[in-house]
Amino acid sequence: MVSELNGRRLHVADLATGSILVLLGAAMFVASIAMPTYADRGTVLTAPAIFPGFIAIILFALGALLTARTLRQPAPLPTGEGVAWRPLLTGLALMTIAIVLVGRINFQLLIAGFCVAFAAIFVSWRGARAEIVRKAGAMAIVVLVVAVLIPMTFQHVFLIRLP
Amino acid sequence: MIDAFLALASATTLFNVLWATLAGIVIGALPGLTATMGLALMTSLTYAMAGQQAILVLICLYIGSIYGGSRSAILLNIPGTPANAATALDGHPMAQAGMGHRALGLATVASLTGGLIGGVALALIAPLLAELALGFGSTEYFLLGIVGIVVAGRMTAADDPLKGWIAGFLGLAIATVGQETMHAYPRFSYGSLNLAAGIALIPAMVGAFGISELLMSLGSGKARMVDAPMQATPLLSNFRDMIRRKITVIRSSLIGIAIGVIPGVGEDVAAWISYGAARRASKTPDEFTKGSDDGLIAAETANSAALPSAVIPALTLAVPGSAPAAVLLAAMFIHNVRPGPMIMIENPDFVAAVCWMVIFGTIAMAVMGLALSRPLLLVLKVPREFLTPVIFCLCLLGPYALTQRIFDIYVVLAFGLLGLAMRLMRYPMAPLILGIILGGMVDQNLRRMLQLIDRDPMQVFTRPIALVLVAVCLVAIFAGVRRRPRNLQVKSQQARNQ
């Protein structure tokens, strides 16, 4: 299983997250101030900026707390397994490409291509010939399900136009 | 209640209960497919169904998936859903000792008992809470939203509440995107019509729970099922074991009900708290994590009792008690049901129908869990590599089907990335989703409250319910500052890594 970050990496990630939240809170607050107050409609207490401004202050404070806490504590020693970056990033890249291409090429073709690429990378094709044939057969069924059966169900049963 | 039963009793209902519960058990049993993800995907598939039948399907799927997760927890030592993490601690050692059949039977009977007690609690508490909520004004609703975020953040990130609170308030920040309701001003939309329409809940949930879950499960290799021979156990002996541990069952059910009602907390926290309470109360605490009946019963009873209980605030306050209940809430809006304090006045039959749906689903879960015990083992043998493309395809088409906007598919990706980053950095996901759901309510009621109190904050303290909510919020913050040891969670993580 792709594990969580730990040790020094989590420490650095917490520091980065804390800083990003401080910046996000500050940016959100500035953007809130720039919003119209609609004072001419009777009161400024219903201005659209009130809620985002309130959340911005809390996010800023929570980010500052996380940053200060991380800076105060030493980085802990790594525990357990690290993150299996290779399968995670490969899977992420495949999914991102597929999503970016949605609407640009035929959906069924796209999803069939995703299946083939996914199988080529993540399914182990080593072993006895019979085993490989069995896996290829299973993958063919998966392609049939995701590229034909599921889209056709959405298209003809739920009357959804495919992207 | 009888009218609701008669209105619901039909062949269609029976058919929907059976297939949806079975689908839930399969989804829950497959590691990497959670109840929330299953519900989010199923919501789009029930779009064309009649309202009550659609909610019935979703509730049965919810019940089935929380129960189904116990199978992989016991036999693979991988909890099928987060709600079954505590189940693995004692269920898996039992399976390793050749008592897998007994562990599955005990988990089924415990889930049945917890589910039925939770269903009765739903019927009793929902009208009372709805009546209490009729007295809520803007101040109470605003504070309820904030209390929900603070308590959910505290309870879902027991080892680091700061991260739970960050997740919750980040959810509220995301909810500010789009046109606000008082002046129709498009906040943070930068001229984009898609952003002005706001971030829809279903794509956000499919991304946060679906895509990130798929990515986290990559590279996990093939899970190994226990190879110890399973000795068959008579069904009656499971019931006898449960009766012998009636105190554990009652305590766990009450804990499940109490935790389930708390906004955004959910079944997993209920199972952990119940497990901890059972260990503290046990005369033989050393047996826990080594195959204790009490441990297994405590975890499964509590998570099943928390499930109907999590529906109570969703129905009566429009505030979900858990992440899957949040999807259920969204589905209710899609199917023209208006949850909230007025539901007992406008649509009292619906609340009674939901109680029956929970009872039907729980009974179907137990019957199928026991009758299909062996065929369901085959589900655990399906390789993850073959399932991922199918789930990915549903993650794209499901949210798209609701609005037919390509933008929602990009939202799925964005929330998949956010969810992945949050999981890697140990942030809980439930407060984030709760924040997105509650954002609109908190926003509107904050501004209404400010108008009503007209710059005099002391007016808040003249309202008793508001005072209670402020006190709960302060206690949650104070309790969060004092950290709790995470022995049980660490132990569970170690068990999963083995």
- Walk along chain A (163 residues) and give the pLDDT tens digit of each residue: 446 777 788 889 999 999 999 999 999 999 999 999 888 877 888 899 999 999 999 999 999 999 999 998 877 776 666 678 888 899 999 999 999 999 899 999 999 999 999 988 888 888 888 888 988 898 899 899 888 988 888 888 777 788 8
**Contacting residues of B for A1, CB less than 8 Å apart:** 78, 216-217, 219-220, 496-497
Q: Which pLDDT belongs to residue B221? A: 54
In the structure encoding, which two tokens stand for residue B388, read together?
Answer: 């991922």
Query: pTM (2 decimals)?
Result: 0.82
Q: Which pLDDT belongs to residue B14? A: 92
In the structure encoding, which two tokens stand for residue B347, read together?
Answer: 């649509």
- CA B424 vs CA A13, B376, B419: distances in Å: 9, 31, 9
Using CB atoms and an 8 Å cut-off, which of residues 93-132 of chain A contact chain B? Answer: 95-96, 98-99, 102-103, 111, 114-115, 118-119, 122-123
Radius of gyration of chain A (CA): 25
Residue whose structure tokens are 């809006």? B333
What gap in Å lies between CA B206 and CA B44, rounded to an integer? 11
Query: Around Cβ B271, how many Cβ atoms within 10 Å?
Result: 32
N- to C-terminal Cα separation, chain B:
48
Sorted by sequence, the CB contacts under 8 Å of residue B300 that are 6+ apart come out as B70, B84, B87, B106, B107, B110, B111, B114, B271
Single-letter code of the amino acid located at B112: L
What gap in Å lies between CA B191 and CA B129, rounded to an integer? 42
Q: Which pLDDT belongs to residue B188? A: 93
> Which value does ipTM take for this structure?
0.92
What gap in Å lies between CA A154 and CA A145, rounded to an integer? 12
Residue A46 Cα, gap to closest chain B Cα (Å): 5
- CA A133 vs CA A117, A127, A145, B115, B454: distances in Å: 17, 10, 18, 45, 74
Angle, CA of A65, A70 and A76, to the nearest 5°: 150
Residues of chain B with pLDDT under 50: 485, 487-498
Per-residue pLDDT tens digits for B406-447: 999 999 999 999 999 998 898 988 889 889 888 988 999 999
**Contacting residues of A for B454, CB less than 8 Å apart:** 45
What gap in Å lies between CA A86 and CA B278, rounded to an integer? 41
**Contacting residues of B for A92, CB less than 8 Å apart:** 215, 417, 420
Indicate which of A45, A81, A96 best probes the interface with B, i.e. most B CBs within 10 Å of its own CB.
A45
Question: At residue B454, what are phi and psi to the nearest 5 degrees?
Answer: 45, 65
Residues B309 and B22 sit within 8 Å (Cβ to Cβ): no
Single-letter code of the amino acid located at B366: A
Instruction: Spell out the alpha helix ranges (H) of B347-484.
Output: 348-371, 384-403, 406-424, 430-453, 464-481
Residues B122 and B355 sit within 8 Å (Cβ to Cβ): yes
Q: Which of B219, B386, B400 lies at the smallest CB-CB distance from A88? A: B219
Q: Which helix H or strand E contains B179, and what residues bound it? A: strand B178-179
Sorted by sequence, the CB contacts under 8 Å of residue B30 that are 6+ apart come out as B68, B72, B80, B379, B380, B382, B387
Give the A:B interface size as CB pairs under 8 Å.
Answer: 189
Candidates B328, B334, B303, B302; CA nearest to B315 is: B328
Sign of CA dihedral A162, B204, B323, A88: positive
Q: Which residue of A has its CA nearest to B175?
A: A52
Residues B277 and B253 sit within 8 Å (Cβ to Cβ): no
Q: Which helix H or strand E contains A25, and what residues bound it? A: helix A7-33
Residue B8 Cα, gap to closest chain A Cα (Å): 24
Indicate which of A5, A50, A51 best probes the interface with B, i.e. most B CBs within 10 Å of its own CB.
A51
Q: Which residue of A has its CA nearest to B389?
A: A115
